[in-house]
């Protein structure tokens, strides 16, 4: 999906949900959709303020909440009380491993895990609409620093 299409879908959803499509909100959405890294709300605010220093912190947080509730971005608890986001509209599903030492986030997809989740759901008559798998642990570098690498 092209970035303009993603933006158009999000704009239509926000308008339909009763939100005004202001210049600030458009900038926030555009920036979130163009960022391919995991980002905090504060990092998104700083990126937006490089373009428009008047962007409101409250508007960033509110917009992220709406985007997350609509499934356009996904929030990820980092295990240290923090939260990072990534835009998921137009992207293939993937899961995450989060290092508790350095905070690095590793994306992965495993067809066998996906099949096993589907099989488990089928056994109990459950229909999966979406899911998110997060594995918390230590990356190779942090293990080496602590002397616990295999």
pTM: 0.80
Query: What would the pLDDT profile of 15-74 be if each residue is shown by its tens digit?
Result: 999 989 999 999 999 999 998 889 999 999 999 999 999 999 999 999 999 999 998 999
Sign of the alpha-carbon dihedral angle for 107, 113, 118, 124: negative
User: Where are the domain boundaries for CATH 1.10.10.10 in the chain?
Assistant: 1-91
| Average model confidence (pLDDT) across the chain | 91
Taking 3-state DSSP, the helix, strand and coil percentages for the chain, each rounded to the nearest 5, stand at 45, 15, 35
| Integer Cα distance of 98 and 133 in angstroms | 11
Share of the chain above pLDDT 90, in %: 64
SS3 138: coil
* Pairing between β-strand 134-137 and β-strand 105-108 as defined by DSSP bridges: unpaired
Instruction: Convert the pLDDT of each residue in 97-108 to its tens digit.
Output: 999 888 889 989
Q: Helix, strand, or coil here: 150?
A: coil
- What is the spatial distance between Cα 61 and Cα 133, in angstroms, rounded to a whole number? 24
Which string of DSSP letters, residue by residue, matches 16-83? HTT----HHHHHHHHHHHH--S-B-HHHHHHHHHHH-TT--HHHHHHHHHHHHHTTSEEEEE-SSS-E
Architecture of the domain spanning 92-150: 2-Layer Sandwich (3.30)
pLDDT for the residue numbered 90: 76
The three-state secondary structure class of 110 is coil
- Where do the CATH 3.30.1490.190 domains begin and end in the chain? 92-150
CA 115 to CA 113: how far, in whole Å?
5
Domain with residues 1-91, CATH architecture? Orthogonal Bundle (1.10)
């Amino acid at each position: 999906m092209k970035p303009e299409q993603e933006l158009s879908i999000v704009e239509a959803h926000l308008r339909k949900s009763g939100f005004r499509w202001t210049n600030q909100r458009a900038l926030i959405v555009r920036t979130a959709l163009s960022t391919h890294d995991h980002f905090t709300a504060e990092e998104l605010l700083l990126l937006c303020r490089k373009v428009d220093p008047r962007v409101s912190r409250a508007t960033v947080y509110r917009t992220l909440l709406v985007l997350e509730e609509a499934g356009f971005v996904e929030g990820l608890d980092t295990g240290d009380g923090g939260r990072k986001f990534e835009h998921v509209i137009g992207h293939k599903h993937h899961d995450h491993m989060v290092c508790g030492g350095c905070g690095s986030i590793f994306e992965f997809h495993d067809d066998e895990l996906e099949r096993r989740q589907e099989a488990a759901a089928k056994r109990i008559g459950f229909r999966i609409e979406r899911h998110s798998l997060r594995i918390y642990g230590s990356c190779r570098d942090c293990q080496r620093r602590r002397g616990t690498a295999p």
